[in-house]
Amino acid sequence: MPHIAFIGLGHMGGPMAANLLKAGHSLSVFDLVPAALEAAVALGATAAPNAVHAVSHADIVISMLPASQHVESLYLGEAALMQAIPGGALLLECSTISPDTARKVHAAAQKRGIAMLDAPVSGGTAGAAAGTLTFIVGGEAATLERARPVLEAMGKNLFHAGAAGAGQVAKIANNMLLAIHMIGTAEALNLGVANGIDPKVLSDIMRVSSGGNWSLEKYNPWPGVMDGVPASRDYAGGFGVDLMLKDLGLAMEAAQASRVATPLGSTARSLYALHSGQGSGQLDFSSIQQLIKRRG
Ligand code: NAD
């Protein structure tokens, strides 16, 4: 079985690495946070003292980092990780980053004879834990076939969006829509509750009516309506407000570069910026419900 280096063991990377261990892979892991490393070691991974050590004997390198700047500085900056990855290895970059950064890393990988996919994911922390993530892939179709067994150890659906960077474009469009329907759902629930309807009853009605959507049905933002979602644990864990704000920023950059109007995406970005500015950056993104509060 190929030996894997896994870098970035946060909310998503931690459970993804756990599923690779469960599938029988040997893993060298690295994260800047010691507690994240220790959790992976407890499951059977080997901790590396730095990213260069982690990748030095890897057949496959996987990274799951917060944002473009982390990915760019890790692979192309001072650490120059790209130089340390063995030629012929496979690189799966799973963070949500700008398509341009993804293409830069692709180009550097190609120069070194390293096959790469940008493979951002959808499905959240629950999907990462259950091994049911959706991978949205940019790169060569043949590289996707090579990566398929390892991606299938962490996810259920694999989509080939197109050439290098296309996985990121599709992911950014999806997350802009997610932000918009989360805000719409919070607004509709707030309107109903402020006018005397129980939020669970209203959710049940809208779920089977034309207002039904993923935020309402799978990730309800009103506390107590649904078990096991961040809204029912004070918006802890899940997909952070600041990460959503980052993705909306990426969507706005892409919109500007392609001269496309995204009026609702732009409003969603402003609302998430306001929410983050009020100290909610680390809460789950469904906490936008707190910004859109019941009155009276
Ligand atoms: P996170 O902040 O929980 O984890 C990121 C990890 O990367 C942290 O443990 C951090 O210490 C580590 N890290 C940062 N720089 C590093 C470096 N140079 N070397 C080693 N480790 C480093 O974030 P997350 O929620 O796991 O999200 C990761 C990516 O997945 C983001 O791009 C996010 O947008 C995307 N994503 C998240 C979710 C979600 O529900 N959380 C869903 C889909 C996609």
Q: What is the pTM of this model?
A: 0.93
- State whether 137 and 217 are in the same domain: no
What residue owns the CA closest to ligand 1's atom 9? 10
Name the nearest CA neighbour of 257 among 174, 169, 138.
Answer: 169
**218 has catalytic annotation:** no
List pLDDT tens digits, range 202-212: 999 999 999 99
Nearest ligand 1 atom, CA 97: 32
- State whether 174 and 132 are in the same domain: no
Distance from the CA of 12 to the center of ligand 1, in angstroms? 6
Tell me: pLDDT of 17 over 90.
Answer: yes
Q: Residues 254-279: what's their mean pLDDT?
A: 97
What residue owns the CA closest to ligand 1's atom 14? 65
- State whether 159 and 173 are in the same domain: no
Nearest ligand 1 atom, CA 96: 32
143: which 2 tokens? 């590289």
List pLDDT tens digits, range 80-92: 899 999 999 999 9
Mutate to test the pocket of ligand 1, among 32, 125, 241, 246 (most ligand atoms within 8 A of CB): 32
Average pLDDT taken over every residue of the chain: 96
pLDDT band at 294 (very low <50, low <70, confident <90, very high): low
Tell me: pLDDT of 79 over 90.
Answer: no
Q: Is 221 helix (H, G, I), strand (E, B) or coil?
A: coil
Tell me: pLDDT of 237 over 90.
Answer: no
Distance from the CA of 145 to the center of ligand 1, in angstroms? 25
Question: Torsion angle of alpha carbons 7, 8, 9, 14, nearest 10°?
Answer: -80
Q: Domain end: 103, 132, 163, which one?
A: 163
Distance from the CA of 9 to the center of ligand 1, in angstroms? 7
- State whether 250 and 152 are in the same domain: no
List pLDDT tens digits, range 31-76: 999 999 999 999 999 999 999 999 999 999 999 999 999 999 999 9
For residue 142, CA distances in Å to 32, 145, 166, 265 come to 33, 5, 15, 34
What residue owns the CA closest to ligand 1's atom 13? 8
Q: Domain end: 134, 163, 192, which one?
A: 163
List pLDDT tens digits, range 240-256: 999 999 999 999 999 99
Q: Residues 196-225: what's their mean pLDDT?
A: 97
Local structure of residue 284 (DSSP, 8 states): B
Interacting residues of 179 by C-beta distance below 8 A, sequence separation 6+: 244, 247, 248, 265, 268, 269, 272, 285
Domain around 235? 169-295
Q: For residue 149, give the H/E element and its range.
A: helix 141-152
